[in-house]
Structure 1
């Protein structure tokens, strides 16, 4: 999927260490039939990335993401976020949501990037706590506008 997130004030060496460590892991993010979100009347099965290692790994090195699937990133606090597409092989829509799970920023049709640390960041335009990555084109298909509500299944932690 995407690749990596930046958090304001996070040292680059910590980001690089998290990426290196996550590349060694075979496991991954929480997923299952009970982990879904609903947006714009559409339900998506999601993987959950809710710690630094999972958020750093994201959807790196994947060649596809099934239709109707995505990855939900849960941050510890609502603050400006920026994601990049390092080692991400599929185009994505990156959708940023605030504490109230309202869409506050969209980065649509973000292309894959093979430039390593030269990949550009795609920032939120407002503080966000939740980030949903979907296959590129989903936001347009749903005609998403800022303010759209993201609904979580009961199995997703959100406090």
Structure 2
């Protein structure tokens, strides 16, 4: 069973060189929900995304198996700083996508979002779900 907590009234903001960009998020913090993620979805609306919390900083990796939508993966340090961005992932791929550095969070959005908003390493992610970012 996928036990996602869907957040409708709250969100996440990424502060970039182009301004503050708000998203509505699905917050995922348990292992079973993280394993499912955005699998089997046929779309991810603009302005939305899924935030994964691993509860500690460390190397993480993802894949796109059973994920039909190309995504941007934003790897985030415990303090809310963007560490790395993986652009335009390949749907249904089993290729492993590593964080490259220790991170606590990963924010997945529809592909093209990171380029359109100029999300870069060092940008700040602010959310009630990232306590160190407040």
Q: Normalization by structure 2: what TM-score?
A: 0.89
Q: Please state how far the C-alpha of 1:105 moved relative to its aligned partner.
A: 1.1
Aligned length: 128
Distance 1:157 1:95, change over 3 A: closer
Which residue, out of 119, 122, 127, partners 1:144? 119
1:110 equivalent in alignment to 2:85: no
Q: Which residue of 2 aligns with 1:128?
A: 103
Distance 1:77 1:57 in 2: 20
In the alignment, which residue of structure 2 is the partner of 1:99? 78
Question: Shift of the alpha carbon at 1:157?
Answer: 6.1
Runs of 5+ unmatched residues, structure 2: none
Q: Could you say which residue in structure 1 is the equivalent of 2:24?
A: 45
Unaligned runs of 5+ in 1: 1-24
In structure 2, the partner of 1:74 is: 53
Kept in 1, the 8 Å contact 2:7–2:27? The answer is no
Higher fraction of helix: 1
Task: Tell me the secondary structure at the aligned position of residue 53 of structure 1.
Answer: helix
Report the counterpart of residue 10 of structure 2 in structure 1: 35
Deviation, structure 1 residue 33? 2.0
Contact residue 37 and residue 46 of structure 1 kept, 8 A: yes
Kept in 2, the 8 Å contact 1:35–1:47? The answer is no
